[in-house]
Amino acid sequence: MIDVLRIVFLRDLKVSLRRWTDVLTSLILFVLVSLVFPLTLGNDSTMLLKIVGPVMLVSALLANLLAMQNIFRPDVINGSLEQLTLSSYPLTWIICTKIFSFWLITSLPLLLISGFIASSYYVTGNSILIVILTLLLSTPSLVHISALAAALTVAIRYPGALMALIIIPLSLPIMIFGSKAIEFSISGIDVSAPLYFLLGMMFFTCSLGPIVTASAIRISID
């Protein structure tokens, strides 16, 4: 089974890299959304330091929303997901691998660039590491929740804002605690409590997410 997962993983990576415009879309959206705020709100460094946490997380959420429209739909259209569902390999693990490869493609560049964005918000020193760590802990949960929303809406022709309506209520705890973590680290308070919560949410969504997503795929496809 590991061979099958490896094949699915490499194939998804290749296909996503071939659609490099999609990869760049989420990265560019992240950068643009987080740059809109200092441009429109002015250059006040205290205010920017106050909003950097929520802005980072909201930009990550929006980039996710846009990128995850494409995780399952092309494979449903070309029939490969149906074949994988019908095969004797556990769909949960296959979905987990797909989501992991998608996370690598869409969210890993976000992590790398978030340090630079944070420093443009006048964040210094240790807090930049905390920003990167917060995004590292929150993006897997966001990706799993978005994959669930994508699986539920994959059979709909024009989903519109339905994915957003499903993702945003479910991801609000992650956004709240992630912003708190960044805010605490900037003010110098001990940051471990929100980070532990984010870690817990990550374990919760990464373990149960693929199971629910797999059943959603099964429901939507056949």
The contact set with other proteins (CB under 8 A) reads 148, 152-153, 155-156, 159, 162, 165-166, 168-170, 172-173, 176, 212, 215-216, 219-220
Distance of CA 200 to the CA centre of its chain: 16
CB of 215 to other proteins, least distance (A): 6
Closest CA to 101 of 27, 217, 8: 8
Tokens standing for residue 14: 């290749």
* Closer by beta carbon to other proteins, 17 or else 162: 162
* Closer by beta carbon to other proteins, 79 or else 169: 169
Long-range contacts of 12-16, Cβ-Cβ distance < 8 Å, separation of 24 or more: 12/97, 12/98, 12/101, 12/102, 13/101, 13/104, 13/105, 15/74, 16/101, 16/102, 16/105
CB of 195 to other proteins, least distance (A): 17
Closest CA to 104 of 184, 189, 13, 31: 13
* Closer by beta carbon to other proteins, 10 or else 165: 165
CB of 184 to other proteins, least distance (A): 15
CB of 128 to other proteins, least distance (A): 27
* Closer by beta carbon to other proteins, 42 or else 157: 157
- DSSP structure class, residue 42: -
Q: What is the residue whose two structure tokens read 């374990």?
A: 203
* Closer by beta carbon to other proteins, 3 or else 222: 222
CB of 44 to other proteins, least distance (A): 22
